[in-house]
Amino acid sequence: MPLFLAACTTAPAGDDAAIVRATLALLVSERSPGAPVLCVDSRPRGEPLAIYRTMRINSEPDEREWRTPVPLRGEPKVGGRQLFDDATDREKLRIPEPDDEAEALPRDEQARLEAAARALSQDGQSTGFNLDGSLAPAGMKVRWWLMNRVAGGCDRTVVLSRLVHDARTGFITVTLDHWGTTYALQRAGAGWQVVAQWDSWLY
């Protein structure tokens, strides 16, 4: 029993809750009211700046810019049958690369976010959490990861990473099917808001 309790994480609170809430709100911001439910796993997976750190090793700052944030989209949806046919050589699956056409942020903001991301990717302590439905906006449902994959009722399933932040800036990575991206957030009054989106990738 003590081992089980030690492995548990709690619901996000304070700044962590505000960061998660702002991220989820962005993800559903352009969906129509009648769109199928977007599901999110209740537990995070992975470090928030792991992909950023790896990709930055072999790239220059101008290659992968911080841009105006948009909801992560993965179109078209890839189904299990398509993956099976690809694996058995019946059909070659082609998943489109993500579209990074959003406007790049001004140079001074680019530099500020780069400095914060580099510092937090090296020295920041990420935090985990266990979501319930209280932070989910309309059109989104929080469920245990296995339920999201076998129970149905989800249009798509979102997976959040752990999150990291200092007093002013935070980062979180989001994956949706085979696409991923990293968002930057900034403190705004008593809450936080998503202010930028880094590179999107296919995995």
- In the structure, what pLDDT confidence band is assigned to residue 56 with cuts at 50, 70 and 90? confident
Rg (CA), the chain: 17
pLDDT at residue number 169: 97
Rounded-to-integer distance, Cα 192 and Cα 15, Å: 8
Torsion-angle region of residue 64: left (phi > 0), alpha (psi -120 to 50) or beta?
Answer: beta
Q: Residues 90-135: pLDDT tens digits?
A: 656 555 566 667 889 999 999 999 999 999 999 999 999 999 989 9
Delimit the domains of the chain by residue range.
Answer: 9-202
Which residues does 158 contact at the CB level (< 8 Å), separation at least 6? 24, 27, 38, 39, 40, 41, 72, 140, 174, 175, 176
pLDDT at residue number 7: 41
Rounded-to-integer distance, Cα 87 and Cα 178, Å: 16
pLDDT at residue number 32: 83
Please indicate whether residue 59 or residue 42 has the higher confidence score (pLDDT).
42
Q: Residues 16-54: pLDDT tens digits?
A: 999 999 999 999 998 888 888 899 999 999 999 999 999
Measure the CA angle with vertex 162, ends 157 and 168; round to 5°. 120
Rounded-to-integer distance, Cα 141 and Cα 95, Å: 26
- Main-chain phi, psi angles of 9, to 5 degrees: -120, 160
Q: Residues 134-170: pLDDT tens digits?
A: 999 999 999 999 999 888 888 889 999 999 999 999 9
The pLDDT mean for the chain works out to 85
CA distance to 6, 8, 32, 123, 126, per residue, from 3 (Å): 5, 9, 44, 28, 21
pTM given for the model: 0.86
Closest CA to 77 of 22, 23, 132, 39: 39
Closest CA to 134 of 8, 18, 9: 18
β-bridge mates for residue 170, sequence order: 165, 185
CB 117 within 8 A of CB 200: no
pLDDT at residue number 48: 97
CB 142 within 8 A of CB 132: yes
Tokens of 142: 């929080």
| Average pLDDT for 166-185 | 94
